[in-house]
């Protein structure tokens, strides 16, 4: 029976991950620090946090597995600096605290095409986050790189995402598998399974693998 930690439990993938974890027979306790309270559950521990003032010595940083689905958009963040602060600085600081507490398995939701030399702020930031989290020395590090997310309940309007999902809906069979939209619950399921089955070293799960049963450990 595992204790897991979820960072970003209120987001599209994170909320799915939380729901699946609370139902999972191998998980005894789910720690989900958030800025606003979550609905109560017997398995759930829900510390309220401020990402600008995280408690370094909190005992709940220690878990069997840590999952991070934290992220924002340039529009939500308001600036390139604000976006980088959330998608790089917040994630790296959380990972540092988690590693320092003794948690040895870290599963990060990244993105297709993440690369420090990638095109544009988004891909470069994701690539730098992967690189810097990887340098912390987790025994098991799993990077999940989904393409466009389908089935996400957004509070904001994302025109580019809507166009991409429309194309996937009507001409998806002509789109290469790695570029096809992937359901948020499938991403969460893959993350959960990969963390529970973690082996030492680095594992990168690309978007194409998310569409296969192999990614689920079946």
Distance CA 63, CA 2 (A): 8
Read off the tokens for 166. Answer: 């429309």
Please list the alpha-helical segments (H only) found in the chain: 12-23, 74-77, 80-84, 91-100, 120-134, 159-171, 184-196, 207-210
Q: Is 69 left (phi over 0), alpha (psi -120 to 50) or beta?
A: alpha
Distance CA 206, CA 147 (A): 9
Using pLDDT thresholds of 50, 70 and 90, give the confidence band for residue 159.
low
Active-site residue identified among 84, 90, 122, 186: 122
Of 13 and 159, more confident: 13
**Does position 111 have pLDDT exceeding 90, yes or no?**
yes
Q: What is the DSSP letter of 59?
A: G
The per-residue pLDDT of the chain, averaged, comes to 88
Distance CA 218, CA 216 (A): 5
CA 71 from chain center: how many Å? 8
Using pLDDT thresholds of 50, 70 and 90, give the confidence band for residue 214.
very low
In this predicted structure, what is the pLDDT of residue 218? 39
Using pLDDT thresholds of 50, 70 and 90, give the confidence band for residue 188.
very high
Structure confidence by residue, pLDDT tens digits, 59-75? 999 999 999 999 998 88
Read off the tokens for 39. Answer: 């609905």
Active site residue 170: no
Active-site residue identified among 67, 84, 90, 126: 126
Question: How does DSSP assign 111-167, residue by residue?
Answer: -TT--TT-SHHHHHHHHHHHHHHHTT--SEEEEEE--SEES---SS--HHHHHHHHH
Q: Would you call 197 helix, strand, or coil by DSSP? A: coil
Q: Is 8 left (phi over 0), alpha (psi -120 to 50) or beta?
A: left
Using pLDDT thresholds of 50, 70 and 90, give the confidence band for residue 167.
low
Active site residue 122: yes
pTM, entire model? 0.87
In this predicted structure, what is the pLDDT of residue 208? 85
Distance CA 204, CA 181 (A): 18
């Amino acid at each position: 029976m595992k204790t897991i930690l979820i960072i970003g439990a209120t987001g599209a993938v994170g909320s799915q991950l939380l729901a699946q974890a609370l139902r999972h027979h191998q998980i005894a306790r789910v720690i989900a620090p958030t800025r606003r309270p979550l609905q109560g559950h017997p398995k759930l521990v829900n510390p309220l946090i401020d990402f600008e003032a995280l408690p370094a010595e909190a005992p709940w940083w220690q878990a069997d597995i840590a999952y991070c689905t934290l992220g924002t958009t340039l529009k939500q963040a308001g600036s390139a600096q604000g976006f980088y602060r959330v998608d790089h600085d917040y994630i790296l600081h959380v990972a540092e605290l988690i590693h320092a507490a003794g948690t040895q398995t870290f599963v990060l939701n990244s993105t297709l095409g993440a690369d420090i030399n990638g095109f544009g702020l988004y891909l470069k930031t994701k690539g730098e986050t992967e690189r810097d989290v990887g340098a912390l020395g987790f025994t098991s590090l799993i990077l999940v790189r989904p393409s466009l997310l389908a089935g996400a309940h957004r509070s904001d309007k994302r025109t580019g995402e809507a166009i991409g999902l429309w194309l996937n809906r009507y001409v998806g069979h002509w789109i290469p598998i790695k570029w096809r939209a992937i359901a948020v619950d499938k991403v969460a399921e893959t993350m959960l399974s990969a963390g529970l089955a973690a082996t030492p070293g680095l594992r990168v799960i690309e978007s194409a693998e998310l569409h296969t049963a192999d990614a689920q450990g079946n």
